[in-house]
Structure 1
Amino acid sequence: MQIVLNKMGTDVVAMQAIGRQIDLLAMLPMISLGLAVTTFTAQNFGARQYKRMLIGLKHAVIIDVIWGIVFAAILITFNKFFSGLFISHNETKIIHLAFEYYLVNGLFYWILAILFVVRAFIQGYGNSLVPTLAGMAELVMRAGVSVLSLVTVGLIGV
């Protein structure tokens, strides 16, 4: 994906560098909750508290989805503030590109939240093969979609 972005110029590379940092702010709570779900699920699986596992999964998904939606709304609303943490407000082209990045990624944070929690849940009850294969598929798809999007849709697709 970085090779594709590099071909689009320095403004796009700068935008992507800023966007990745902001993505980390969005994803760290989701990942942390996923880690908690793994432990919670494993403990309850060992205690044969299957109903409690499912209740925990439901609550974790709700919490993470709410976080994804709220963070996306804050990010899109205050996009110039977030970009301004990393770049001068005079860099209007990069700020606009970053806004598009936030908009596209932010709209899908809630899906990513579900992915993190469900993957952690599956790992927690002892199945590491499915999450590993899902992670590998995600990596391949990201690269493939990036390359195809560059040719068909352009930057928004990448």
Structure 2
Amino acid sequence: MGLQYSITAIGGMMVQSSLNILGSYAVAAFTAGSKIDNIFTQAFVAIGTTMSTYSAQNVGARKLDRVRQGFRCADVIGCAYAVVVGFVLFFVGKSFSYLFISDNAEAVIPMVDTYLRCVGMFMIPLYVVNCYRNGFQGMGYGLLPMLSGVAELIGRGVMAVVAADARSYTMACMASPFAWIVATVLLIVLYFYVMKDMKRKLCLQ
């Protein structure tokens, strides 16, 4: 898991490099926006931690059906919360900017709004990344979640390079959402593989 977070951090450094090219206002806005969305997305981290423990316990008890049920219940809760949070970030998220910005607010806050609108539209993929990656780790699969982290790194890196080349703040803001989408597609495919493989390992009919 430590390696997983290291891979994610590398992607963050690539995005930071592209922001440095865009100037201090872009860096300040991105930093403030990241703090705001982190406040609202800690629930996804909690769901991921819960699924890690839940899936580990039920695999140990040879209750694969309960693991599937757990993912379905988490999907309902996580997606519903993602829609609400996305709505808040998209429409009123910039109101929280004053908690983190005091200087040059007139120039920075519109850029914070751009960031929050970009990430706010993609809260469901962020939920999937947190829930399924941790759930698979709880089931004993270490390499597969790390592959999703590599996919996330590639997605974030590609967008960071494009943003730097185009000198586009909006593209820099889209780096994380694009990475989440890439990782989500991979994780959904891996879900079916993991369930089939776990059924074989547990010798279930």
| Shared fold (TM-score, shorter chain, > 0.5) | yes
The 3-state SS of whatever aligns with 2:140 is: coil
Map Cα deviations across residues 99-158 of structure 1 (whole Å, 9 max, x no partner).
010000110111110121111221121111100121122123212211113324821111
Deviation for aligned residue 1:23 = 2.3
Structure 2 equivalent of residue 85 of structure 1: 99
TM-score, normalization: structure 2? 0.72
Instruction: Quote the RMSD (CA, aligned, Å).
Output: 1.7
Structure 2 equivalent of residue 102 of structure 1: 116
Structure 2 equivalent of residue 11 of structure 1: 25
Structure 1 equivalent of residue 34 of structure 2: 20
Structure 2 equivalent of residue 70 of structure 1: 84
Deviation for aligned residue 1:29 = 0.9
Corresponding letter in the other structure for 1:7: I
Q: Percent identity?
A: 31
Task: Report whether the alignment pairs 1:54 with 2:54.
Answer: no
Long gaps (5+) in structure 2: 1-14, 173-205
Structure 1 runs of 4+ with >3 Å offset = none
Corresponding letter in the other structure for 1:34: G
Q: 1:2 pairs with 1, 16, 28, which one?
A: 16
Q: Distance in 1 between matches of 2:152 and 2:137?
A: 16
Structure 1 equivalent of residue 202 of structure 2: none
TM-score, normalization: structure 1? 0.92
Long gaps (5+) in structure 1: none
Q: 1:149 pairs with 136, 155, 163, which one?
A: 163
Preserved contact between residue 37 and residue 89 of structure 2 (Cα < 8 Å)? no
Preserved contact between residue 4 and residue 150 of structure 1 (Cα < 8 Å)? yes
Q: Which moved more, 1:76-85 or 1:29-38?
A: 76-85
Preserved contact between residue 75 and residue 82 of structure 1 (Cα < 8 Å)? no
